[in-house]
Amino acid sequence: MLVALVLVAGLTFVSQQKAAGGLNVLLGSHSTDAIERYNPDTGEYLGKLGNVNISNPIGMAIGPDGLLYVASVSNSSIVRFDLETNQYLGVFSSGAINGARGMCFGPGGDIFIPQQNSNIIRINGQTGASMGTFIAAGTAGLSYPQEIIYRDDGMFYVVNNNGPHSVQRFDTNGGFVDVFTNDPGFNTGVSQGMSFSPDGDLYVASSTIDAVLQYDGVSGDFERVFTSGSQTMRPEDMVFLPDGDVLVANWESGYVSRHDGITGDFEGVFASNGRPNILMLASIGPKPALDVMIDIRPGSEPSPINLKSKGSLPVTIYGSDEVDVSQIDLSSLLLQGASPQERGKSGNVASIVDQNGDLILDLNLKFDLEEMDIAPDALELILTGMLLDGTALGGSDEIRIVPSSDGNGLSFVFGDLVAPAIQAQVLPEPATLAMLAIGGVAVVRRRRR
């Protein structure tokens, strides 16, 4: 039987965990010159991120290193925060930003930032040095870019506030691909932020018509006005909550509004904050332990364990969309205190195969039963370890403790699997018999106490 184990709560970019697990709404404001933290369920104010002021923050993005990067237009700089410790780490890059709004990380880990009334620049994600222009002003009519998103389809999405005020797509070399949004006859006016919903649709905040517009995330076709009216005065950005609601930062209204994620109906003021303009979900606190699915003695449920066995215990760690088993630090793995066994002369401790036929690679290991600390009444065994990047992981599987003897000195042994004992008087001589068991021949051996 496979049982997953959650060890600790912590950092995820968009998560289904509750606020108690560390999930915060991060809000950048021109009025407060800070990144403010709020409880996503109640709107309770939780303080300034890093307890510092950031002059005129206009873009936020989490980097490949797990740090939060914030663009400050007034200081023409990018600063960093450690979300695990809630600490300000100082300036990462300075001098290149000019009236920008929005930022994102690209496929190679570099930073891309729109320059207001101008082009889109590239910042080295390792050093913070400017790499110059990525998309030149005037490319396919690009002017006054206000937001940029890199999506897993391999393209950059850019809000272009020139001409028809559209969302354009560019490839990873900065080449123009197409105009993505398609709403003939419906001029969105000057647009600010945009965001893709969990189901893949694109939402664009239009400050000219005081509305949030929804587009099909594949075709770019206009679907509807998600929300508009007096509750959304000059919307600047939006974020999608785990419960399905949507938060909208409204510059003119001076607050963040909460809306039903299906109907778009206004549900009330989430937080009042002067001039709110950028929103994000992030967790503040220790990095999460990664759930891994493990199977002890694959094929047996629950897995039988003989505490007096001197053999090896086979264990499979299953890969998944979230777990790449090739990134597991094998030296960190412990199963009830035991490390993986080396295999023969090769010294290898594991093999990577598709154990269950799901086309995702799994990890097979063996552990020495004698090295494990297993209580006589144990109902599960627990595996702990880390990924190569330091992320903690954990998993468990149910077991059953089986006897090593029936009181008459007799037991059945299939490798390390001990079968229920049979009374000695019903066992014919000779003491060694051949018997058919689970597709193979099992040897029944008389054992003296």
> Among positive and negative, which fits the CA dihedral 118, 65, 292, 13?
negative
In 81-205, which residue ranges form alpha helices assigned H by DSSP? none
Domains for the chain: give ranges and CATH numbers. 10-283 (2.120.10.30), 290-401 (2.60.40), 412-444 (no CATH)
3-state secondary structure 366-422: EEEHHHCCCCCCCCEEEEEEEECCCCEEEEEEEEEECCCCCCCCECEEECCEEECCC
| Contact residues for 384 (Cβ-Cβ < 8 A; gap 6+) | 7, 332, 333, 334, 392, 393, 394
| Residue 194: how many other CB atoms lie within 10 Å | 24
Residue type, 180: F
Can you give the length of the chain in residues?
A: 449
Q: What single DSSP character describes residue 333? A: -
Residue (of 366, 317, 318) closest to 339 by Cα position: 366
Residue (of 290, 329, 335) closest to 316 by Cα position: 335
Backbone φ and ψ for 204, nearest 5 degrees, come out as -125, 130
pLDDT (tens digit, 0 to 9) for every residue of the chain, 449 residues total? 333 332 222 222 233 333 333 889 999 887 788 899 999 999 999 999 999 988 888 899 999 988 999 998 888 899 999 998 899 999 999 987 876 678 999 999 999 999 877 899 999 999 999 999 999 999 988 888 889 999 999 999 998 887 667 899 999 999 999 999 866 544 556 677 899 999 999 999 888 788 999 999 999 999 999 999 888 888 889 999 999 999 999 988 889 999 999 999 999 999 987 778 788 888 888 766 788 999 999 988 888 998 888 889 999 999 999 899 999 999 999 999 999 998 766 778 889 999 999 999 999 999 999 999 999 999 999 999 988 877 889 999 999 998 865 444 444 444 444 444 333 333 333 333 333 333 333 333 333 33
Residue type, 337: G
Backbone φ and ψ for 278, nearest 5 degrees, come out as -135, 145
Backbone φ and ψ for 23, nearest 5 degrees, come out as -70, 125
Residue 45: predicted pLDDT = 92
Residue type, 375: A
> Among positive and negative, which fits the CA dihedral 171, 175, 178, 180?
positive
Q: What is the pTM of this model?
A: 0.66
Half-sphere exposure of 277 (CA within 13 A, CB side): 26
User: For 50, left (φ over 0), alpha (ψ -120 to 50), or beta?
Assistant: left
Backbone φ and ψ for 133, nearest 5 degrees, come out as -75, 135
